Amino acid sequence: MARAGVARSYPLIVRAASQQAKHIMAFELRRKEWERIEKEGIAAYPEECCGVLLGKEQEGRKVLSDIVPLNNARKDSPRNRFLILPEDFVRSEREARARGLDILGFYHSHPDHPARPSDYDREHAWPWYTYLILAVEKGQPRDMTGWLLSDDRASFLPEEMTLSDDGTKFEARSGT
């Protein structure tokens, strides 16, 4: 797919920093990781893919350096659910630490569903982590958006994402 489409489909929306989360984060990633997440989403379609975002956070700026695809443990309902088991979480964290990295968050896909968090996503979310959501429509990757849980757990706040290759910024339009 045309790479230019990535930037075009995510108009930058200027918004005042929200007071709803303790730490307003900015998330930086390279096209390389973006495309890997898209490939994961395509390969898993019509099921959901999921994985870990690894990198470093400094003063509210998260920089992604790698992704680690994980097994979706929801064998009963893989088309609209994903689950990363605690033992997989612990293993990922250990591997991250051995590489001098931290878990910054998680990605998952929404097959034939918009790239915005569902109530189910929010009810199960942890604060601080970035939740990247990729919409995959009829097997093709569409929007990708990033979200942070608000401190009161009532909403997901859109997180500003920057493609570090060329500085393109994009942000989802609004929370749920």
Partner 1 sequence: MSVKVIIPAPLRQYTEKNDSVLVDGQTVDEVLHNLTERYGDLRKHLYSDEGKLRSFVNIYRNDEDIRYLDKGSTAVKESDVLSIVPSIAGGATAMADGLSLLTKD
Instruction: Tell me the HSE value of 88 on the side-chain side, using a 13 A CA sphere.
Output: 14
Facing residues of 132 across strands? Answer: 107, 146
Interface residues with partner 1 (CB under 8 A) are 22-23, 48, 50, 74, 76-77, 79-86, 89-90, 102-103, 106, 108, 110-113, 117-121, 124-129, 131, 151-153
Shortest spacing between CB 122 and partner 1, in angstroms: 9
Strands 50-58 and 102-111: antiparallel
Which one of partner 1, Zn ion, none interacts with residue 81, CB within 5 to 8 A by kind?
A: partner 1
Which one of partner 1, Zn ion, none interacts with residue 172, CB within 5 to 8 A by kind?
A: none
Residues 75 and 83: their CA atoms lie apart, in Å, by 9
Shortest spacing between CB 4 and partner 1, in angstroms: 27
Q: Quick check: 46 and 111 in contact, CB under 8 A?
A: yes
Q: Which residue lies nearer to partner 1 by CB, 117 or 146?
A: 117
Among 38, 121, 159, 171, binds Zn ion (CB under 5 A): 121
Please classify residue 169 by burial: count the beta carbons closer than 10 Å to its beta carbon, then call 0-12 exposed, 13-18 middle and 19+ buried: middle
Q: Does 143 bind Zn ion (CB under 5 A)?
A: no
Q: What are phi and psi of 40, to 5 degrees?
A: -60, -45
Residues lying near Zn ion in the complex (CB under 5 A) = 121
